[in-house]
A and B are shown apart, each in its own frame.
Chain A
């Protein structure tokens, strides 16, 4: 009876251009017709809640991503390119994402490519070690903004905020069987979202996605939830400075108010950068600059309540615009929607706007104050 109920509940038609489903195994599907788009985008997002980064495994998910994008025969991305389709992938703290862009009549090709990604990896030890070497070269290119942000995560969450890039991996440190086990958890059905957007037939896309994801079943215990350790000061070897604050899940008032405040702060300090990755889990919002070592922190610490109130409308407007930019193209919306859907299939990105509308100047001021040296994270670049 419960499973029958689940079957009835899986399909919820928002309108004729959108089809969604939560499958019995927990996988989330969202298919949307975007007539104005010239191509379709498929975004497979796999939540990391069954395999969070630990010191012992740090970097292995990143390695898995490198191995997977080559597909079963080692040339998946190349085969797609030859057909005029393009695959990219990235590993984030809370998920792994595979994006495929193709023409609308190539949907089957995209689904077939994702099927390869979902298969257990068969890479040899040599292949793994080669990719570890490649990742070492990739990590050598990490820029100052990323280092400042990474330090903020470390200060806020300790080992629970480890950078998935995996700076310390060495050849031989990961065995093929470890990757197979990791793959099973990373792509556990309950943590999968597949978002398809573009000039497509959403019912057809949903059917194809359902066929891809439905037969999969496996369950794993969820990793320990990320808990903030609070603020404080941390140094890192980059040039610049940053202020950061841990925040609640995407769409919560805690996240929204800090997010809007961060955008407002960044707009007051020319040349500053801002980082936040939408996630269902507690996250981190960072504002920093890499063109100078000072100015940002002084500005944040000296801001008065009236100054914060003056920025309230701007912060709100900028947060709205940020949201609209994410929704502007099918590709960016699919990434955005997939990130939240993989972590919590019942969550809706639209909640962000609802919360933003409800935000008061006091909420905003509290968000602003959370970047202060007494509450938030102060990152000091030492180079």
Chain B
């Protein structure tokens, strides 16, 4: 690894603040992108890191953290493309929220007992069936140790890689000033870190009682043209009772209770997916292609009413807390997360009104074309249940 250096004053990552004068809570988000060569062992390490990174910090004991956040979320989760730290404090304590977040990314203590306990218990953790269906990548805990965890921690939480966002009752500039004060020195960023070859795609063994059946499109960048048309196509395909996936997979084929179309985050950007889960059946291997054919034919019947329905679902999920959304990472009630995450994925600030306007501009033909293109190119995947 070659290291050297861009000299940058203050926080070298991306920071955004959302002043909200009357907000009763403060929300701090840190998005730490995962390396492009992230593999099964890294996933195991990331899970152990997420479990332990907020347990004990340089300036905060576990009891203090619990007291200061007063039962609000203070968590780290592994997403498909990043580690996400989410901290909430009472609104007036926004400085404490930032301080805890900074301590977490800079000075987590990783107590030996907690790391040991995480390494021992994580291999036995079984996600819910739907969570497994969405995140079925293989995970390995083999050889995981505290030194490896610490190395990964330093690699992933490099300040210049981070996207930080905070929402709370502060004045414009106050939160930025506070966060920048943690970085008084010039940041020396190592560059030229060599990546390993991209890992081969592997799935964890399905130990659940339900089969996962899927159509998965190729990965594309968040800056690729046509993102809004793809998203609107996903709303038409899979959001709501009048969507193609609901009408065909659940009602016509009576295949499953839960089936969704998703814009799923990947290390490269996003991929379009249609996922359904059901009790094992003999013909399950043939079902993805059958579903593909039915959905493709359905697209030919899409009309202006389909587009308006998709838009209506999009407005509901983007402006309310409506759950039927193909954007599983989007949370209207957590604007700081959306701000940090959207910047990370697309390079742009998230503008809700502008995004909705862009969706409204997508013509029916483009929506159909994106849906068909996805369906015809998607890989069929079946992960048989027990």
Residues of A within 8 A of B (CB): 38-39, 77-78, 81-82, 84, 86, 101, 130, 133-138, 140-141, 143-144, 239, 263, 267-268, 270-271, 290-293, 314, 317-318, 321, 324, 329, 331, 383
Contact = CB atoms under 8 A, between A and B. Distances in A.
B309 A82 contact: yes
A84 to B, nearest CB: 5
B218 interface: no
Contacts of B373: none
A321 B70 contact: yes
* Interface size classification for chain B: 35 or more
Contact of B254 (A77, A134, A144, A263): A134
Contacts of B51: 270-271, 291
Contacts of A263: 71
A290 B124 CA distance: 10
List the 7 shortest-distance A-B pairs measured between CB atoms, nearest first: A143-B128, A137-B257, A318-B71, A138-B257, A77-B241, A292-B121, A84-B312
Contacts of B130: 141, 143
B125 A140 contact: no
Contacts, number: 95
B209 interface: yes
Contacts of B117: 292
Nearest to B316: A86
Contacts of B256: 137
A288 to B, nearest CB: 14
B381 to A, nearest CB: 18
Contacts of A314: 66-67, 70-71
B279 interface: yes
B278 A140 contact: yes
Interface in B35-88: 51, 55, 66-67, 70-72
Interface string B217-240: 000000000000000000000001
Nearest to B258: A141
Contacts of A134: 250, 254, 257
B250 A143 contact: no
B71 A383 contact: no
Contact of A133 (B24, B126, B254, B315): B254
A101 B311 CA distance: 16
Interface of B: 24, 51, 55, 66-67, 70-72, 117, 121-122, 124-126, 128-130, 209-210, 240-242, 250, 254, 256-258, 277-279, 305, 309, 312-313, 315-316, 319-322, 324
17 contacts: A39-B320, A81-B312, A82-B305, A84-B312, A137-B279, A140-B209, A144-B128, A239-B126, A267-B71, A268-B66, A291-B122, A292-B121, A292-B124, A317-B70, A318-B70, A321-B71, A321-B72
Contact of A140 (B129, B242, B320): B129
Given A134-B250, A137-B257, A329 B321 contact: yes
B313 A38 contact: no
B321 A130 contact: no
Contacts of B128: 141, 143-144
Contacts of B250: 134
Nearest to B255: A137
A137 B277 CA distance: 8
Contacts of B126: 144, 239, 290, 383
Contacts of A268: 66
Given A81-B312, A267-B71, A314-B71, A136 B279 contact: yes
Contacts of A324: 24
Contacts of A136: 279
A134 B241 CA distance: 14
B242 A81 contact: yes
Contacts of B254: 130, 133-134
A40 to B, nearest CB: 11
Given A78-B241, A314-B70, A318-B71, A141 B322 contact: no
